[in-house]
Chain A
Amino acid sequence: MSDPTKNPIHPALPELAEKARRGRIGRRDFLRTAALLGASAATAHSLLGVALKPGSAMAAETPKFGGNLRVSMNVMDISDPAIFDWSQKGNQARHIIEPLVQIDKDNIARPHLAEKWEASEDLKTWTFHLRKGVKWSNGDDFGADDVIATFRRWLSPETGSSNIGRFAAMTTTTDTGKKDENGKPIKKTSMSEGALEKIDDHTVRFHLNTPDLSLPESMGDYPALITHRRFVEDGANFIKNPIGTGAFELKEFKVGERMVLTKRKGKYWGGDVYLDQITYIDHGDDPAAQIAAFASDQVDTTYETGVEQVAAIKSLPMLDLYETITAQTGIARFKVTEKPFDDRRVRQAIQACIDHDRLRTLLYGEYGAAAEDHHVSPVHPEYAELPKLKQDYAKAKKLLAEAGHAGGLKVRIDCVASPSWEQNACKAIAEMCRPAGIDIEINVMPGGTYWDRWTTTPFGFTNWTHRPLGVQVYNLAYRSGVPWNESSYSNPEFDSLLDVAGTKIDPEARRADMAKLQKILQDDAVFVQSLWRSVFVAANKRVRGLYAHVALEHHYNKVWLA
């Protein structure tokens, strides 16, 4: 630990940082204040995601070169980066191949392989300027050809990439003229003509069919890593041909067991990289195994530490715990087209039983942030603060009676068996509804069976992962008719207001619209939200430069071992 007098931190800052972590003040507000109070950007950022022990030193130390970082995480198959469906896969590959835009730990989209970008007024034409001087590990220069080849592959339906939905604004859906066994026409979605334009070797222009203000954020999502232009010709197998622009190279890969990365032999465009090696070790699906591994110093850090292990981690003296509040959440959502949830009063009654702050405390103790049943997180740049919801059993009973359930209501919620916080959330919600006469039976479904019916069940608890922008979530989940609209919520007023919000690229300008959208969802009680989850990452004290990323991404380029 270093001398605190070297880089004194204004005494008000740690407390403000605490508030920022909880979502009580905005992160941007904190960063601005920290700068005003004389903290460097590095210090301010590390305050937001630093270890939870007060007084730990945050001043700069000189990084040491060398060492092997051992990480406990599932080692999954990464032979085709275009079809990544687990963020662990993104972590495995991101050290080797990189995205155009990277979401930084404060949820802001920053330039990575793309140096800067501009959008036209109507948000339909985006020009991305690529970084110069970047080389692939096989010596080739990185440029527009690689980006265009990669995008073309993503947008082709045969690849089966989720990016075809992510970049839907660049696609066209046509009727193939054939019909399936139910007589419905078979449609085909593919890249629109002229969507990708190469201006020169380091400039690519995207022509969208509809305005999309979240294009940079989408490019920072984990399945959007850029592969070499000859990826397909060379066999389309990333493990056999791990050519990349990143700071590390693939040395060893055994699915389900381990993956070893070594520092790139050539020069890396991003400056100094300190680690010699990263080793991913797969400890199976058992979170307790990670704790045991920490205790016997078999790993330095893990992919994620669940909230129920925080107490155990804090009792191990050699570990630090990093926390970040995210837009990850779990929602107990109703299907608004099915009884009894088609009656808004029933939904509002259930909503009125919840004490959101107590729910947060029950599930996450002193961590996390209370949610407000509208699915926009305090870490979203366009978050609008609404009056807090209060628990009101009298109101709940009245609403129930009005809806015809004066004698009580019995419903069933489907939920996954693991991770356990989801079950615990359902249990806690059920407990809170009991005094109003609402009896919620919890139906636990093992493994993947919940995902067979997450869009059809009348009442289900669904885990939503972090997305950088509030409008992204709304477009994915609450716009009428979209595939992931699990609640079947359909409100034309909401849809048109969302369209309006989607034209405003500045989050400040969007905020007023978001306030209205949030209120609509809240009043319509489409779901009960558990909380805004913090994510935790535990690491041995010897690891420096680490932080908990909002989407659990691994950015190890500046990590070093003391």
Chain B
Amino acid sequence: MLSFIFRRLALTAATMLAVSLLVFLLLELNPGSVAVKVLGPYSSEEQRQLWLEANGYLNPLWQRYLEWLGRMVTGDFGESIRFKVPVAEVLWPRLWNTAILAFWTFAVLIPLSLTLGVLAGMREGSRLDRAISITSIITTSIPEFASAVFLSAIFVFGLGILPGTSAMSNGFDPLQLILPVMVLVLYDVGYVTRMTRASMAEVMTAPYIRTAVLKGIPFPRVILRHGLRNALIPPFTVIMLQINWLLSGVVVVEFFFAYKGFGALLLEASLNQDIYLIQACAMVAVFVAVTTQTLADIGYTYLNPRIRLQ
């Protein structure tokens, strides 16, 4: 087990390295356009030359990459062109905000979808199962931006009971979290529910379950004692992987509700060609995604006795 973990971590590090190369090449290949982006379109050729020289852009590519990598690893992400402060100063608070959003999204999503999935899967083909499945498919067909428009129209403009933006300008306001969380949950609940349902349904057909039923153990006990433990293993990994999905989902939701999170930051950076911010956001996003994937792999291996005992 330990060697497995070790290998996975090494793989993670290698992946991150390759990703960093990709990000660096994508954004910093052409020093001239970097200078234009940093100094602005009205800067003179003279200013750009001075800046390029002062910041090491006239060095060979591989040298620039290694120096950049060194800075990245120590957390020095450079200075944001748009905000004119060190990237780290803007990035970490925003990431924390997204973490809060993620936390509440999962707090609602996980219980909800696991419950629905178990209910649907334990009696496959029943009316409840049909209803839950159809609803799940429908909700996953509505893109987040569409449901954001709908929910906003209903709760902000129509009923007027929820705030229209979530900028949190007066300190933390839980009301402003409700709509963003709703949109995220609405989109993903269908997927996790169906994964749970499929896993549950499969477990229900296992011989030991049928044996338990035949032995006369009451049905709820069968589920709770025998069924759930194995049924919940795949959903566990699915949920870990939702973090990857979430990092995508928040881009639209944070943009829409003006929530000061990581996704909105990345989008703002891209639309404004703030290279260093884009790089830092991309690297951090990938790091979080890769780490959760590794944890999911390790967790799945650990929890799944079939693999663990090999």
Chain A interface (Cβ < 8 Å from any Cβ of B): 70, 76-77, 79, 85, 160, 162, 180-181, 186-187, 255-258, 279, 281-286, 288-296, 298, 417-418, 446-449, 451-452, 454, 483
Contacts and interface: CB of A to CB of B under 8 A. Distances in A.
Q: Which 4 A-B pairs have the closest CB atoms?
A: A292-B164, A77-B84, A451-B41, A283-B258
A283 B273 contact: no
Given A257-B260, A283-B165, A448 B156 contact: no
Contacts of A290: 165
Contacts of A258: 167, 169
B271 A296 contact: no
Given A452-B33, A454-B41, A279 B164 contact: no
Contacts of B84: 76-77, 79, 255
A452 B40 contact: no
Nearest to B37: A448
Given A283-B165, A452-B36, A418 B271 contact: yes
Nearest to A286: B255
Nearest to B89: A255
A286 B169 contact: no
A71 to B, nearest CB: 11
Contacts of A288: 256
Contacts of A418: 271
Interface in B244-273: 255-258, 260, 264, 267-268, 270-273
Contacts of A298: 163-165, 167, 169
B45 interface: yes
A265 B87 CA distance: 35
A162 B44 CA distance: 11
Contacts, number: 107
Interface size class of B (residues with CB under 8 A): 35 or more
Contact of B160 (A187, A295, A449): A295
B156 A292 contact: yes
Contacts of B167: 257-258, 281-283, 289, 293, 298
Contact of A255 (B33, B37, B46, B83): B83
A296 B156 contact: yes
B33 A256 contact: no
A166 B76 CA distance: 36
17 contacts: A255-B83, A282-B167, A283-B258, A284-B258, A285-B271, A289-B164, A289-B167, A293-B163, A293-B167, A298-B165, A298-B167, A417-B271, A446-B271, A447-B271, A447-B272, A448-B272, A451-B36
Nearest to B83: A255
B169 A281 contact: yes
Contacts of B36: 451-452
Interface in B34-75: 36-37, 40-42, 45-47, 49
Nearest to B85: A255
Interface in B136-181: 152, 156-157, 160, 162-165, 167, 169
B90 interface: yes
Contacts of A282: 167, 260
Given A162-B42, A255-B90, A452-B36, A76 B83 contact: yes
A76 B90 CA distance: 12
B41 A289 contact: no
A483 B258 CA distance: 37
A186 B45 CA distance: 10
Which of A180, A257, A292, A295 is packed against the most chain B CB atoms within 10 Å?
A: A292
B156 A181 contact: no
Interface in B218-266: 255-258, 260, 264
B273 A449 contact: yes
Given A180-B46, A286-B258, 11 more contacts: A77-B84, A256-B83, A283-B258, A289-B167, A292-B156, A292-B164, A293-B163, A296-B156, A448-B272, A452-B36, A483-B42
Nearest to A184: B45
Nearest to A280: B169
Which of A162, A291, A417 is packed against the most chain B CB atoms within 10 Å?
A: A291
Contacts of B46: 180, 186-187
A289 B156 CA distance: 12
Nearest to B265: A256
A447 B258 contact: no
A14 to B, nearest CB: 31
A258 B273 CA distance: 22
A208 to B, nearest CB: 22
Contacts of A255: 83-85, 90
B164 A295 contact: yes
B251 to A, nearest CB: 12
Contacts of A160: 47
B49 A180 contact: yes
A282 B165 CA distance: 11
Contacts of B165: 283, 289-290, 292-293, 296, 298
A298 B156 CA distance: 12
Contact of B256 (A76, A289, A293): A289
A256 B260 contact: yes
Contacts of A295: 156-157, 160, 164
A449 B271 CA distance: 9
Given A447-B272, A448-B37, A296 B260 contact: no
B179 to A, nearest CB: 9
Contacts of A76: 82-84
A255 B265 CA distance: 12
A187 B268 CA distance: 36
A89 to B, nearest CB: 10
B90 A256 contact: yes
Contacts of A285: 267-268, 271-272
Contacts of A79: 84
A301 B273 CA distance: 28
Nearest to A283: B258
Nearest to A447: B271
Given A289-B256, A451-B41, A452-B41, A296 B164 contact: yes
Contacts of B271: 285, 417-418, 446-447
A257 B169 contact: yes
B160 to A, nearest CB: 7
Nearest to B81: A448
A448 B164 contact: no
Contacts of A85: 40, 42
Contacts of A291: 164
B12 to A, nearest CB: 31
A454 B41 CA distance: 9
A286 B272 contact: no
Which of A186, A283, A294 is packed against the most chain B CB atoms within 10 Å?
A: A283
A140 to B, nearest CB: 28
Nearest to A85: B40
A454 B36 CA distance: 12
Nearest to B58: A181
Contact of A296 (B33, B37, B40, B163): B163
Contact of A279 (B47, B169, B257, B267): B169
Contacts of B164: 289, 291-296, 298
